[in-house]
C-alpha cells in the first residue's frame, strides 16, 4: 500500500513521541528513591546507654534514616516496635532496614517451616515499615561444606518469600569470612550470589569488611551488576588490632577503599538505593563526632 512521505513522517513522529513518553514513564517507575542512613552499631555504646538522646544527636546531625543493630525479645533497643517507631517519628527519623541474625533458631526442620521467633522478626520489621530485613552474619555450621551452605541459601530464598508477603525483602550482609572461605573450589561469596534469588534476597555489600580479606567492591559491583541494593559505606586503614584481617574502619576518604569511586559506580549501575554509613573504630574521636564527619563528607559528595 502506498503511503505518502508526509503521512509516514507524521505517523513516525507520533510513534517516536509515544515511545519517548513510555520510556520516560517506565524510567520514572523503575527509579527508586536513594537514601543516606546510618547503621546504629556505629554509636553502639551510646545507644546502649541512652537511646533517645543518641537518636536526637543523630537527627541533629542531619540523618533522616537509621538502620538498627539491636532486636531482642521483640524489642528494638528495649522498646516495642510501636514505642520505637514513635521515638523515631518524633525526631524525623525512619528505619528502612535492620540487622537481625538469622541463626539456627530461625528454622524448624521437623516442620519444614520458620519458627515463631523468625516470623515475629519479620512481622515487627514490617510494623516498623522496613524495606529490608538483613542478616548480618552466618553461623559457622552453615558453611562447613558446600551442601550445608546451599541448603541454608535455599532457606534464605524462603525467607525472601516470607518477607515479600509483608512487602519487604530479605537480605544478607558480608564480613570477611565470605572471601577467605572456599567451598568446592568457589569463593563463599560467589556461592551466596549464585544460589540466592535476586528477586527475593538482596545483598548489602559492606565495602570495608571485605578489604583485608581481598574483596574489592568495584570489581564485585561490575561482576554482579545490580545485585547490591544496599551498601555499608565504610573506609579502612591498616591496624595492629586486626579488627578485620589487619584493617579497621576510619572516617570516609581517609583510608584505602576508594569510597567515592565505589559510590559513583554503585550509582551508575542503578542497583544501589540504600547507602548506610558505618564506622566501628574512631582513632581518638567520639563515635558521634566521627559519624558527624562522615555525614558531612557524604553530603559533600552529593548524597543527602
CATH of the domain at 128: 3.20.20.150
Range of the domain at 167: 34-300
Name all contacts of 141-144 with Cβ < 8 Å and 24+ positions apart.
141/104, 143/177, 143/181, 143/183, 143/188
Q: What is the pLDDT along the chain (304 residues), one digit of tens a residue?
A: 334 434 433 444 444 444 443 333 333 334 578 999 999 999 999 999 999 999 999 999 999 999 999 999 999 999 999 999 999 999 999 999 999 999 999 999 999 999 999 999 999 999 999 999 999 999 999 999 999 999 999 999 999 999 999 999 999 999 999 999 999 999 999 999 999 999 999 999 999 999 999 999 999 999 999 999 999 999 999 998 755 589 999 999 999 999 999 999 999 987 999 999 999 999 999 999 999 999 999 999 999 8
Quote the number of domains for the chain.
Answer: 1
Q: Please choose, from the candidates 118, 236, 131, the residue with its C-alpha nearest in 3D space to the C-alpha of residue 175.
A: 236
Q: How far apart are CA 77 and CA 69, in angstroms?
A: 9
The pLDDT score that the predictor gives to residue 245 is 82
Q: How far apart are CA 270 and CA 123, in angstroms?
A: 29
The pLDDT score that the predictor gives to residue 13 is 42
CB 176 within 8 Å of CB 210? yes
- All three cell numbers of 281: 573504630
The pLDDT score that the predictor gives to residue 243 is 54
- Examine residue 24 and state whether it is found in any structural domain, yes or no: no
Alpha-carbon distances, residue 153 vs 103, 172, 211, 251 (angstroms)? 12, 10, 24, 34
- Examine residue 12 and state whether it is found in any structural domain, yes or no: no
The pLDDT score that the predictor gives to residue 241 is 73
- Examine residue 5 and state whether it is found in any structural domain, yes or no: no
- Examine residue 6 and state whether it is found in any structural domain, yes or no: no
The pLDDT score that the predictor gives to residue 31 is 54
The pLDDT score that the predictor gives to residue 242 is 56
Between the two ends of the chain, the Cα-to-Cα distance in Å is: 57
The pLDDT score that the predictor gives to residue 269 is 87
- Examine residue 289 and state whether it is found in any structural domain, yes or no: yes
Contacts of 238 by beta carbon, 8 Å cutoff, 6+ apart: 246, 247, 256
The pLDDT score that the predictor gives to residue 9 is 38
Beta bridge partners of 172: 135, 203
- Examine residue 134 and state whether it is found in any structural domain, yes or no: yes
- Examine residue 1 and state whether it is found in any structural domain, yes or no: no
Taking the model in full, what pTM does it have? Answer: 0.89
Phi, psi of 139 (to 5 degrees): -60, 140
Q: How far apart are CA 253 and CA 299, in angstroms?
A: 13
- Examine residue 278 and state whether it is found in any structural domain, yes or no: yes
Q: Any idea of the CA torsion for 56, 252, 296, 293, to the nearest 10 degrees?
A: 50
Amino acid at each position: 500500500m502506498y503511503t505518502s512521505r508526509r503521512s509516514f513522517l507524521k505517523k513516525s513522529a507520533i510513534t517516536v513521541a509515544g515511545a519517548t513518553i513510555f520510556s520516560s514513564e517506565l524510567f520514572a517507575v523503575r527509579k527508586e528513591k536513594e537514601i543516606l542512613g546510618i547503621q546504629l552499631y556505629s554509636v553502639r555504646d551510646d545507644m546502649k546507654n541512652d537511646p533517645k538522646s543518641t537518636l536526637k544527636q543523630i537527627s541533629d546531625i542531619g540523618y533522616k534514616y537509621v538502620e538498627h543493630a539491636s532486636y531482642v525479645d521483640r524489642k528494638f533497643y528495649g522498646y516495642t516496635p510501636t514505642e520505637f517507631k514513635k521515638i523515631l517519628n518524633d525526631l524525623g527519623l525512619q528505619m528502612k532496614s535492620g540487622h537481625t541474625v538469622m541463626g539456627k533458631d530461625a528454622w524448624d526442620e521437623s516442620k519444614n517451616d520458620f519458627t515463631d521467633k523468625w516470623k515475629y522478626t519479620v512481622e515487627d520489621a514490617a510494623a516498623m515499615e522496613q524495606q529490608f530485613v538483613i542478616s548480618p552474619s552466618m553461623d559457622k555450621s552453615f558453611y562447613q561444606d558446600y551442601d550445608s551452605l546451599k541448603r541454608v541459601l535455599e532457606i534464605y530464598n524462603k525467607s525472601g518469600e516470607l518477607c515479600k508477603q509483608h512487602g519487604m525483602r530479605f537480605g544478607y550482609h558480608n564480613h570477611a569470612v565470605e572471601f577467605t572461605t572456599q567451598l568446592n573450589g568457589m569463593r563463599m561469596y560467589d556461592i551466596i550470589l549464585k544460589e540466592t534469588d535476586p528477586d527475593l534476597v538482596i545483598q548489602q555489600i559492606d565495602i570495608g569488611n571485605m578489604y583485608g580479606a581481598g574483596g574489592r567492591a568495584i570489581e564485585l559491583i561490575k561482576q554482579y551488576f545490580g545485585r547490591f541494593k544496599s551498601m555499608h559505606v565504610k573506609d579502612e586503614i591498616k591496624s595492629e588490632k586486626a579488627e578485620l584481617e589487619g584493617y579497621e574502619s576510619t572516617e570516609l576518604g581517609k583510608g584505602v577503599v576508594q569510597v567515592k569511586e565505589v559510590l559513583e559506580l554503585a550509582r551508575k549501575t542503578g542497583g544501589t538505593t540504600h547507602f548506610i554509613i558505618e564506622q566501628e573504630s574512631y582513632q581518638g574521636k567520639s563515635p558521634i563526632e566521627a559519624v558527624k564527619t562522615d555525614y558531612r563528607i557524604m553530603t559533600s559528595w552529593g548524597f543527602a
